[in-house]
Structure 1
Amino acid sequence: MGRKKLTMEEKARALALIEQGMPVKHVAAELNVSRVSLFKLKKSAASLPTGTLPPRKLGCGRKRKTSERTDKMLVRELKQNPSITAAELKKKHPDLLQDVAVRTLQHRLQKDLGLPCRRAAKKPLLTDTMRKKRLQFAKQYRDWTPEQWKSVMWSDESTFRLVRGGSSLVRRPSTVSRYDAHYTVKTVKHPDSVMVWACFSGKRAGRSLLPSKERNSPDLNPIENAWNKMKNDLAKSRPTSIVPLKEALKKMWVTMDVSYLENLAISMPKRIEQVLKTRGNMTKY
């Protein structure tokens, strides 16, 4: 025997099939609903304009555990603190949420309010001075072509650890960038394990570089992507001591695809564009 209740989507499909001449018993079998429900639906729709679905009865279904006022409060709390958990929300607002289960709150945040739990991006902490420097650099080189960027020698140092840290979760609306400063976990570099220095350019072997005495902005240096790629690869092999860690790093750098490094160099116009767009704040690069 089929179910008695029909969703609005099932009502629309059922009426469409019945209008096409399909017998009620076949429609009931296809939608796994009772024939009685379909006969009632057909009777209710008969007095309505063509294409109109019978409305849901008032008071039908379980009463919502949260009110419109409560939902606004939840959104306001998550805007102020994207990392707050459903359990913490319940504890903070016992007057409004004492009868609401944590699981219900999680469902309301994710499904109804569009605030699913997402993994926060880790980005370097930017001070006001650093943001101004990024913006100034972007304005200065906004007209450079990919070929010019390929002639730059990119260099930097990075620390490679034997064990990488975990990540954090935040609730972020899908309309907001993952790299918005409010929704990222700030990280700070600390000396540890092995310190590595390297450099590259987008030019292939045998081609000269443009002479330059100016250092590149460290916050926009594409070599950071190469470091991150190497750290991700290390996380898979997980060397357990310094010696194999050093050997793995040397091998990774020597065997790195030249075209990958070239693509990093010519990505600078996009990086510049994003920095200008965010007024010096964080971007995905």
Structure 2
Amino acid sequence: MPLSPSQIAQAVSLVEQGMTHREVATILNVPRSSMQYALKRYQQTGLCTRRPGSGGVRCTSARDDRFIVLETLRNRFLTAVEIQQRLQISRNVNVSERTVRRRMEEVNLRARRPARGPQLLPQHRAARLQFAREHANWSHEQWARVLFTDECRIALNAPDGRQRVWRRKGERYLAITTTPTVSFDGGSIMIWGGVSSDARTELVIVNNALTATRYIEDILQEHVVPFGGFIGYDQFILMHDNARPHVAHIVNEYLQEVGIQKLQWPARSPDLNPIEHIWDKLKRTIKTASNPPQTLSQLRDADEDELDIKNVIQSMPDRMQAVIRARGGNTRY
């Protein structure tokens, strides 16, 4: 533990007054060995400051360091090599890629995987912000009236981006460290489902392209309308996104005819729909099962067996606040 120049000066003064090294170390609250080393250096040099070290000279100046940091902050997707080249062109300073990385690490900038989210144009951000402000004060009881619905495609061999492999240098393409790929992810199925605070609908397997007519006949009539009767049409609110089959005129007319209120949903807002977490949990549960499905028929059976919904509706007030803090931008949800 190195002592500061003021501590060294104080230690010298106390020793000259006749105090022992142990007493001085106790007063300064420093290790006795560190204090003795500092006093010995003072006797040799007559200085309270450290002698110049023998390490290498820093190859960048303070202005060079600021240039590296500012270039990184202006464009977060630049690589260390690109910043190195810009530094050489702009300031005629030639450093290694590792030096650039060290300068960024000094200000706590490290390369990490970017978060993924839908592209939000100004009109999308404005709509999301308005929606969040309008529903920021909704209580849990009000959110409990909403049936959150969505479609999800589940593939047999789709990568989830979470898998990692332990390997040594030079083992990248060994059979035991390589993930095999299959054309079209081995096949997939489209499912529809809905969840509220107290219950969920049955899963509907969409075998063909979902049209507005099929959406009414196979989903709304068979599942949403009975669910609305269970909750009560005077309180029930349907949430579905802005996919074309959902916003077709015949769908809106049908919902008005049966008396189902629809929640006006902002476009490109999957982070506001709690059912997305349920789809993610379903995919991970199927993927990590002891006997994962190998065929589409097995995948259909697994979807019905593995869906275990927890109450995620309680997070809706927090989601609204997160959108407001992001001023309509993407959130961690």
TM-score by length of 2: 0.58
Flag as ranges the 4+ runs of structure 1 deviating above 6 A.
Answer: 15-18, 44-47
The residue identity in structure 2 corresponding to 1:193 is: S
Residue 303 (structure 2) aligns with: 249
1:19 aligns with 2:24: yes
Q: Distance in 1 between matches of 2:122 and 2:231?
A: 37
2-structure distance, mates of 1:125, 1:247: 35
How much has 1:279 moved relative to structure 2? 1.9
2:99 is aligned to: 104
1:1-285 to structure 2, matched below 5 A, reads 7=2, 19-20=24-25, 37=37, 39-41=39-41, 43=43, 54-58=48-52, 61-95=55-89, 96=91, 99-110=94-105, 112-161=106-155, 162-164=157-159, 166=161, 193-203=188-198, 208=231, 210-212=235-237, 213-215=261-263, 217=265, 219=269, 220-237=272-289, 239-253=293-307, 256-257=308-309, 260-261=310-311, 264-285=312-333
Query: Secondary structure of 2:112's partner?
Result: strand
Q: Does the aligned pair in 2 maintain the 1:158–1:196 contact within 8 Å?
A: yes
CA–CA separation in structure 1 for the residues paired with 2:22 and 2:44: 16
Instruction: Calculate the aligned-residue CA RMSD, in Å.
Output: 3.8
2:220 counterpart residue number: none
Aligned counterparts of 2:46 and 2:66: Cα–Cα separation in 1: 40
Q: Deviations over 1:84-143 (max 9, x none)?
A: 221222233334476422222212211x12212222211222222322221221122222
Q: CA 1:147 to 1:101, structure 2 compared with 1: closer, same or farther past 3 Å? A: same
- Tell me the TM-score normalized by structure 1: 0.66
CA distance in structure 1 between the aligned counterparts of 2:315 and 2:286, rounded to whole angstroms: 24
Q: What is the CA–CA distance in structure 1 between the aligned matches of 2:23 and 2:112, rounded to whole Å?
A: 43
Call closer, same or farther: CA 1:56–1:46 in 2, change over 3 Å. Answer: closer
SS in 1 for 2:131: helix
